[in-house]
Copies of this chain bind each other. A is one copy, B any other.
């Protein structure tokens, strides 16, 4: 089989992660070493950059600087939230073809896989040989096929550590504390809040994820029960929690606010859900004095520097490198996925799955990771997630207390 020689384009898409640049550098490193790729272009802000022909010549990046870029959070090429139309995809394909691009690597979530898939089909229809690869990235850990997603381990480490610290804070000055964690549809990141639990009374004591229906009354009762037991309560909630009818708590809150305040009060900001739940709990205590606070972790979860999971960083680099390896190996397109070969010792290998498998749907927290009551996470999740997160900071207590 004749080798396919030409230029390559790489782009980054969607919400940043702490290790997305590891994947980018993995692509750059591997591309530099293979003869099939003449020039590697980086598209600024993903598909937007391709459409605007806004490219950087990545072949010229000095190696030493790439080491620093790799460990820098957020997308070094710039990211984008745009989901291209079919017309956009056609235009992109024409641009790629014009520039003799034979390799296209797109780092992102399932939307990025879909974009890659459409471009790939257009190339195929036009009989233009091009290898299109999706490189997985998401803190949500919601991609299908792969055992887990690069980006998740580092975000999970941040969330687990944040809850460790907040649990200590809460033990020191008792009260009820609600922390809102990213995750509109998948509860993996919120589930990670349990990884720092060490002592029996450590929080989070309650964990609510989008995979289990939320109920206001049950929630308040849960909090009161924990508070009665420990004199304090820490709660983890996914931003995407919803009622049994599918309506999210955030949506109902916004609807209530509109009626109550003639639309003059801003409730769609990022701290609103936590504050809303805190108010709900306060009300539930019916005048009894209780200290209720809410924090929303926000963007820190996906871009906090210097605190990544080493396993996550290594694997993010690996999927970048392997995308180039698979693409140049033969007539193949797809999404690079991770298979967990063994859990103890932890060992993985990559494989290729077709783009459509990853593009169509996302996945959520398996039922076995959620307790029966739907208000906590099981120990089975720890077995799954601990190797991805790596070592957490150590927290100690006085023996006397």
Contact = CB atoms under 8 A, between A and B. Distances in A.
Interface string A247-265: 0000000000100111011
A400 interface: yes
A95 interface: no
Contacts of A303: 165-166, 168-169
Contact of A62 (B264, B304, B399): B399
A392 to B, nearest CB: 7
Given A75-B172, A165-B73, A264-B260, A294 B275 contact: no
Q: How large is the interface on A (under 10, 10 to 19, 20 to 34, 35 or more residues)?
A: 35 or more
Interface in A299-322: 299-300, 302-307
B166 A56 contact: no
Contacts of A177: 299
Nearest to A180: B271
Copies in the complex: 2
Given A275-B272, A294-B271, A397 B76 contact: yes
A162 B77 contact: no
A166 B275 contact: no
B270 A162 contact: no
A279 B299 CA distance: 18
Interface in A218-266: 257, 260-262, 264-266
A296 B159 CA distance: 15
B269 A168 contact: no
B260 A265 contact: yes
Given A73-B169, A76-B398, A271-B275, A297 B294 contact: no
Contacts of A265: 257, 260-261, 265, 267
A146 interface: no
Nearest to A21: B396
Contacts of A16: 168-169, 172-173
A377 interface: no
Given A295-B299, A401-B56, A71 B394 contact: yes
Contacts of A77: 398, 401
A75 B284 CA distance: 29
Contacts of A392: 305-306
A329 interface: no
Nearest to A262: B260
A396 B299 contact: no
Residue among A165, A275, A395 with the highest chain B CB neighbour number at 10 A:
A165
A108 interface: no
Contacts of A294: 269-271
A22 to B, nearest CB: 12
A326 interface: no
Interface in A67-103: 68-69, 71-81
B271 A274 contact: yes
Residue among A65, A271, A293, A296 with the highest chain B CB neighbour number at 10 A:
A271
14 contacts: A57-B400, A61-B398, A69-B397, A71-B396, A74-B165, A78-B173, A161-B306, A168-B305, A169-B299, A270-B271, A270-B295, A293-B299, A296-B296, A306-B392
Given A16-B172, A260-B261, 16 more contacts: A16-B173, A56-B398, A58-B400, A60-B400, A68-B396, A72-B395, A75-B173, A77-B398, A78-B172, A161-B304, A161-B307, A169-B303, A266-B278, A269-B271, A269-B279, A270-B294
Nearest 4 interchain pairs by C-beta: A271-B271, A269-B275, A306-B393, A68-B396
